[in-house]
Amino acid sequence: MNNFEFFSPTKVIFGKGVEEKVGAELKAWGATKVLIHFGGGSVIRSGLMARVEASLNEAGLPFVSLGGALPNPRLSLVYEGIELCRKEGVDFVLAIGGGSAVDSAKGIAQGVPYDGDVWDFYSGKAPTTALPHANIITLAATGSETSNSNVITKEEGMLKRGCNTDWNRPRFTLMNPELLYTLPPYQTSCGVVDILMHTFERYLSPNTGDVSEVTDRIAEAIMRTVIQYGPVCLEKPDDYTARSEVMWAGSISHNHMTGLGRKTDWASHQMEHELGGMYDVAHGAGLAAVWGSWARYVCDEDVMRFARFAVNVWGLNMNYDDPKETALAGIVAAEDFFRKMEMPVSIGEMLPDVTITDETIEELAVKCTFFGKRTIGGMKRLGKEDIMAILKAAL
């Protein structure tokens, strides 16, 4: 097993009705004035916002609110949140919603104490402090509720960039699976794919010769659990057990536990970021659209790893005479699952009305390499030409 450090300090409060504890929890963490940051009107229509506000009022905590967080959260709203927090003397940021609201809230928290442009942190500069922040999750997907990551889209150039720092670690998360009951099926499916992909990116990584069996078995358990319960969430949206299993899997999949002691890949995520920035597609859908082409492109780098994925995750039989046949069958099984969740398995399925030219593919690849400054991937290092080949195959 490779050396690693594991740091996951977020307090998880899980179960029915836990959102009503938010005022007392914020008070215990020393908050004196709170920004409530959220996405659309569903948080208000469902009555969740009213319950949160009542809890803060009961705790004697003043607050201000900022809605409007979108999928692929925008830098302009982060700027707005930073100015609002400074003006109102906010010292704690609370996100309510899915990964977009949480990521946007993290950006705001980074920017308030920083004298420069918060986009610096998405261009390679590391934050040195941030306001404390927490969240109430209404979508099982990104794992941002416990992770050190967030992703923001800059409208100028439609650049989608991530920032990984322990300052992104929330102080606490309140996770009530009942809040997922009213999710549209498409959002549920995107979330399920995102959870799986966070685990795929860690599990389908280069074999360095060091065994990490505990980590692999945790990852396999997460994947099998999501594969079992994801379809149930579509068939029975108010199934508490299914929502609970998927919700908790989402956090574990992205708090780094499923990749400890292993190298990781993340090429599919990096390519999707460019598709998301250019076309504003849902993150889970974009991942499903490119993953199969990436997997086939890199499979020969470690056929036995992909074969193990097929056997231990999808329950397929090993062909010892031709392990690659097993490996490719595992890729097909993953794509079949995506289809079962009504997700696209190609860019053409995802964007049927968009004509994507060779010039567009090249632009996406150039942006993905940060204009020639990097390669991506762990299973196989990918440069511009490799990325273009994968995206063309994904069309």
Instruction: Give the domain CATH number at 235.
Output: 1.20.1090.10
Split at pLDDT 50, 70, 90, the class of 202 is very high
Please check whether residues 67 and 99 belong to one and the same domain: yes
Residue 222 belongs to some domain of the structure: yes
> Do 144 and 118 form a contact (C-beta atoms < 8 A)?
no
Q: Give the whole-number percent of the chain exceeding pLDDT 90.
A: 94
Question: pTM of the entire structure?
Answer: 0.94
Please check whether residues 155 and 191 belong to one and the same domain: no
Query: Quick count: other Cβ atoms within 10 Å of Cβ 62?
Result: 13
d(CA 373, CA 156): 20
Does the structure show a pLDDT above 70 at 208? no
CATH code for the domain of 32: 3.40.50.1970
Please check whether residues 135 and 239 belong to one and the same domain: no
State which residues form the domain around 383.
Answer: 183-394
Please check whether residues 334 and 272 belong to one and the same domain: yes
d(CA 166, CA 186): 31
Handedness of CA 144, 127, 122, 92 (dihedral sign): positive
Please check whether residues 163 and 237 belong to one and the same domain: no
d(CA 162, CA 113): 19
Per-residue buried b or exposed e for 20-42, using 16+ beta carbons within 10 Å of the residue's own CB: ebbbebbbeeebeebbbbbbeee
Residue count (the chain): 395
Please check whether residues 160 and 199 belong to one and the same domain: no
Please check whether residues 85 and 145 belong to one and the same domain: yes
Residue 1 belongs to some domain of the structure: no
Residue 2 belongs to some domain of the structure: no
d(CA 207, CA 48): 45
Give CA angle at 200 (353, 69), nearest 5°: 55
| Domain termination site, one of 159, 179, 199 | 179
Does the structure show a pLDDT above 80 at 210? no
d(CA 290, CA 307): 20
At position 102, the amino acid (one-letter code) is V
Please check whether residues 345 and 272 belong to one and the same domain: yes
Number of domains in the chain: 2
Split at pLDDT 50, 70, 90, the class of 209 is low
- For 113-133, the pLDDT digits (tens) are 999 999 999 999 999 999 999
The pLDDT value given to residue 233: 98
Task: Return the residue matching tokens 């536990």.
Answer: 257
At position 152, the amino acid (one-letter code) is I
Nearest residue to 207 (alpha-carbon basis) of 379, 391, 70, 14: 379
What single DSSP character describes residue 205?
Answer: S
Residue 237 belongs to some domain of the structure: yes
| Domain termination site, one of 179, 194, 226 | 179
Residue 202 belongs to some domain of the structure: yes
Residue 238 belongs to some domain of the structure: yes
Tokens, residue 295:
């997997």
What single DSSP character describes residue 382?
Answer: B
| Domain termination site, one of 148, 179, 210 | 179
CB-side exposure of 330: number of CA atoms within 13 Å?
28
Q: With the CA atoms of 273, 274, 275 and 278 taken in that order, what torsion angle do they form, in degrees rounded to the nearest 10?
A: 120
| Strand-pair category, 149-154 with 159-164 | antiparallel
Split at pLDDT 50, 70, 90, the class of 301 is very high
The mean pLDDT value for 232-246 works out to: 98
Tokens, residue 66:
């900022």
d(CA 256, CA 249): 12
Please check whether residues 175 and 187 belong to one and the same domain: no
> Mean pLDDT of all residues in the chain?
96
The pLDDT value given to residue 353: 95
> Do 250 and 284 form a contact (C-beta atoms < 8 A)?
no
Please check whether residues 208 and 171 belong to one and the same domain: no
Tokens, residue 316:
């397929």
Please check whether residues 196 and 324 belong to one and the same domain: yes
Residue 5 belongs to some domain of the structure: no
Split at pLDDT 50, 70, 90, the class of 220 is very high
Residue 68 belongs to some domain of the structure: yes
- For 177-189, the pLDDT digits (tens) are 999 999 999 999 9
d(CA 194, CA 145): 14
Query: Quick count: other Cβ atoms within 10 Å of Cβ 210?
Result: 11
At a CB cut-off of 8 Å and minimum separation 6, what does 234 contact? Answer: 185, 188, 189, 341, 342
The mean pLDDT value for 101-110 works out to: 98
Please check whether residues 295 and 370 belong to one and the same domain: yes
d(CA 242, CA 232): 6
The pLDDT value given to residue 86: 98
> Do 379 and 206 form a contact (C-beta atoms < 8 A)?
yes
